[in-house]
Amino acid sequence: MRGSPLLRALLAFFAILALGWPLRELTGATDAPRTQPKIEAAAEEQEISLKLDFTALPRAVKVLHLGKEVWDETTPPASMERTLQLAYPEAGIDLQLQIEWPADAPLAAVRVTFTDPTGETHEKSLWGQGSVDDVVTFP
């Protein structure tokens, strides 16, 4: 092949340019958004009702949700109720109860009545002596 080297270089440049455009289109990042998988939303806080009934009067009681104190009572009555705003996912909820009964008191129990946001009631009991730190799960 004969001809001007300048012309050949120009031809080669345009050939690369012509090939480059479709290659860029095929391999480059697109601006169109990728379809992202739907991420499960965190459970929202809802109104739940909690009732505690003791067989023996404790000196103190604490209720914790996700490691945070949501209810704290010193010398509580035998029965008490409170409405709380808590996240209540479908998977359920764990409530940690820390109860201080007098050290010399016999075996005692607490009945935990939990009313979920739909109005359905669930019950669980905990037994113990002295200091009790345990978890009840609802539903």
Partner 1 sequence: MVRRMKAIRFSLLTLLALTLCCSAAEKLRVSSFSTILTEVAEQVGGDQVIVTGHVKPGVDPHEYEPKPGDLKKVGEAQVVLLSAKHMEGYVGKLKESTGTKGAIIEVGDRFASLKMKPEAGHEGHAHAHESDEDPHWWHSLACMQKAVKVVRDAFSKAAPESAAVFNANATKYLAKLDALQKWTRAELAKLPRDQRKLVTSHDAFQYFAKENGFTVYAIEGLSTANQPSSKKVAEIIAKIKAQGVKAIFPESILNPKVLTEITRETGAKVGGELNADGLGEGETSTYEGMYKHNVRTIVDGLK
131, 111 Cβ separation under 8 angstroms: no
Residue type present at position 62: K
CA geometry: angle 29, 35, 39, nearest 5 deg: 130
Q: Rank residues 12 and 43 by Cβ distance to partner 1 and give the closer one.
A: 43
The DSSP H or E segment spanning 26 is helix 5-27
Q: Rank residues 15 and 43 by Cβ distance to partner 1 and give the closer one.
A: 43
Which residues are near partner 1 by CB under 8 A?
36-40, 42-43, 64, 66-67, 87, 89-96, 133-135, 137
Q: Rank residues 28 and 67 by Cβ distance to partner 1 and give the closer one.
A: 67
d(Cα 63, Cα 100) in Å, to the nearest integer?
12
Q: What is the nearest approach in angstroms of partner 1 to the Cβ of residue 39?
A: 5
Please confirm whether the linkage preceding 89 is cis (ω < 30° from 0). Answer: no
Q: How many CB atoms lie within 10 A of CB 95?
A: 22
Q: Rank residues 22 and 33 by Cβ distance to partner 1 and give the closer one.
A: 33
